[in-house]
């Protein structure tokens, strides 16, 4: 149930699929199910995640990706699906890596 | 949660103190040097302007909105730590400012600045009875505190109506009002996150734009209305980052639970504004009835 160890990942090459897997594990732990049961095509609100849980999730994600304060929460809330959000986060991560 | 802060006319003093009296040092650690604890303005400043520059821009905007100038007496309803009054006096040459706040810590801070021609009163606007009329009024980030969740929509509008009536009276029907407030956007009353309404800002209920239009009708004309929600998203993000940096530098105090509570609140608020679930209204209201004290 733990996310992949970030030290084993090249920060510049975290893929959308890895981020989606992270989301599914995180949500599964929150709602008490297995990651496989979390549909990547569903949006975040459909899991009954409240905004406080969403803050905690994005802070945990930022920590994992090593990009503190850098992901706008609306990237999650406004995404049509978890997969879309994961893609947006991966793009933001790539942009940030390119800048630094 | 609301029972701890019962309805008080014009806004709950206990609720205001709950939020603002956690300590001036805590706020000073992550607000910009002006100590402005309200939405900054990024229009009219360079794209890469600092939070402090954008706060000064906001302070000048409100001063200009009321036509502030030499010889005028200005009331600041919800004066915070005094930044608006300083701008009015030092940049616009206003003769005198009176600030109202319900927070003892804010009042003490303003007094410690020892600004000539500035006075501060720890009083609710509802109970305020000035001896001499003002030439203009600024109110930034206070209107959000006026209504209580336990009040009906009609009761809330009556409170707002009372406020606009008071502003009209305090200027003898001749002074402008520059008002800045958070309002409901696509989010409806009752949908607010209990964390924000209950814990961070107890006993607060946001207005809607319609509330303001209805409550000010016949007293003030709305001559300018801006919704600057993106400005507040950017302000909250800047505060969140500054809070984290202050925490890392050991400058935000030892209360890690407090820091975490505010950090989450700032991140949540930034998202709320970015998605326009809540919005940031800036209104210039000109009095109806008598000629304005100042042209321009």
Q: Which CATH number goes with the domain that contains A50?
A: 1.10.1200.10
Give the Cα separation of B82 and A77 in Å (integer).
36
Helix (H) or strand (E) holding B98: strand B96-101
Give the Cα separation of B194 and B183 in Å (integer).
16
- pLDDT given at position B112: 94
Whether residue A9 is contained in a domain is answered as no
Burial code (b: 16+ CB inside 10 Å, e: under 16) for B203-213 equals bbbbbbbebbe
Angstroms from A59 CA to nearest CA on chain B = 9
Between residues A11 and A65, the one the model is more confident about: A65
Q: Which residues of A touch B271 (CB under 8 A)?
A: 51, 54, 72-74, 77
Q: Is residue B292 pLDDT above 70, yes or no?
A: no
Whether residue A71 is contained in a domain is answered as yes
Mean pLDDT of the region B33-57: 95
- pLDDT given at position A68: 81
Where do the H-state alpha helices sit in chain B? 13-20, 24-30, 51-65, 83-90, 104-112, 153-170, 194, 209-216, 229-248, 256-274
Nearest to B65 by CA among B224, B293, B262: B224
Tokens of B111: 């007094």
Q: Is residue B2 pLDDT above 70, yes or no?
A: no
Cβ–Cβ gap B267/A55 under 8 Å: yes
Tokens of B109: 């801070």
Instruction: Give residue-wise pLDDT tens across range B226-239.
Output: 999 999 999 999 99
Percent of chain A predicted with pLDDT > 90: 43
Instruction: Give residue-wise pLDDT tens across range B84-129.
Output: 999 999 999 999 999 999 989 899 999 999 999 999 999 999 999 9
Q: Is residue B210 pLDDT above 90, yes or no?
A: yes
Give the Cα separation of B287 and B177 in Å (integer).
8
Give the Cα separation of B200 and B261 in Å (integer).
8
Angstroms from A66 CA to nearest CA on chain B = 14
Specify the pTM.
0.86
Whether residue A51 is contained in a domain is answered as yes
Domain count of chain A? Answer: 1
- pLDDT given at position A10: 63
Whether residue A57 is contained in a domain is answered as yes
Whether residue A4 is contained in a domain is answered as no
Cβ–Cβ gap B193/A51 under 8 Å: yes
Dihedral of the CA atoms A27, A33, A39, A43 (nearest 10)?
Answer: -40
- pLDDT given at position A70: 80
Lowest mean pLDDT among A6-10, A96-100, B9-13, B76-80: A6-10
Summarize chain A as % helix, strand, coil (round to 5). 65, 0, 35
Whether residue A81 is contained in a domain is answered as yes
Phi-psi region of B23 (alpha: psi -120 to 50; beta: other; left: phi over 0): left
Which neighbouring-strand residues pair with B184? Answer: B278
Whether residue A56 is contained in a domain is answered as yes
Whether residue A7 is contained in a domain is answered as no
Q: Which domain holds residue A34?
A: 15-99
Contact status, residue B122 vs residue B107, Cβ threshold 8 Å: yes
């Amino acid at each position: 149930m733990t996310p992949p160890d970030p030290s084993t990942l090249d920060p510049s090459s975290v893929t959308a699929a890895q981020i989606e897997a992270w989301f599914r594990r995180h949500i599964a732990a929150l709602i008490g199910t297995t990651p496989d049961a979390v549909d990547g095509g569903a949006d975040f609100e459909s899991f009954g995640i409240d905004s406080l849980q969403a803050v905690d999730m994005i802070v945990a994600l930022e920590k994992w990706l090593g990009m503190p304060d850098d992901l706008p929460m609306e990237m999650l809330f406004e995404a049509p699906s978890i997969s879309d959000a994961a893609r947006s986060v991966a793009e933001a991560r790539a942009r940030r890596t390119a800048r630094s | 949660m609301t029972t701890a802060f019962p309805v008080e006319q014009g806004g709950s003093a206990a609720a205001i103190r709950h939020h603002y009296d956690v300590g001036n040092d805590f706020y000073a650690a992550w607000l910009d040097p002006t100590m402005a604890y309200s939405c900054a303005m990024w229009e009219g400043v360079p794209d890469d302007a600092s939070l402090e520059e954008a706060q000064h821009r906001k302070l000048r905007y409100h001063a200009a909105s009321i036509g502030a100038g030499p010889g005028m007496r200005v009331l600041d309803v919800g004066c915070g730590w005094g930044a608006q009054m300083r701008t009015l006096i030092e940049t616009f040459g206003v003769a005198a400012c009176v600030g109202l706040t319900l927070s003892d810590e804010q009042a003490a801070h303003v007094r410690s600045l020892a600004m000539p021609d500035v006075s501060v009163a720890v009083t609710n606007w509802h109970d305020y009875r000035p001896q001499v009329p003002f030439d203009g009024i600024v109110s930034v980030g206070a209107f959000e505190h006026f209504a209580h969740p336990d009040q009906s929509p009609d009761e809330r509008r009556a409170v707002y109506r009372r406020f606009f009536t008071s502003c009209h009276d305090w200027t003898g029907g001749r002074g402008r009002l520059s008002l800045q407030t958070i309002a409901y956007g696509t989010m409806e009353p009752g949908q607010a996150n209990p964390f924000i309404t209950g814990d961070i800002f107890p006993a607060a209920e946001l207005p809607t734009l319609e509330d303001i239009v209805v409550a000010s009708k016949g007293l003030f004309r709305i001559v300018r209305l801006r919704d600057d929600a993106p400005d507040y998203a950017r302000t909250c993000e800047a505060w969140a980052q500054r809070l984290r940096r202050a925490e890392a530098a050991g400058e935000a105090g030892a209360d890690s639970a407090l820091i975490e509570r505010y950090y989450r609140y700032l991140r949540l608020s930034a998202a709320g504004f970015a998605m326009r679930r809540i919005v940031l209204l800036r209104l210039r209201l000109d009095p109806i009835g008598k000629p304005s004290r100042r042209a321009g």
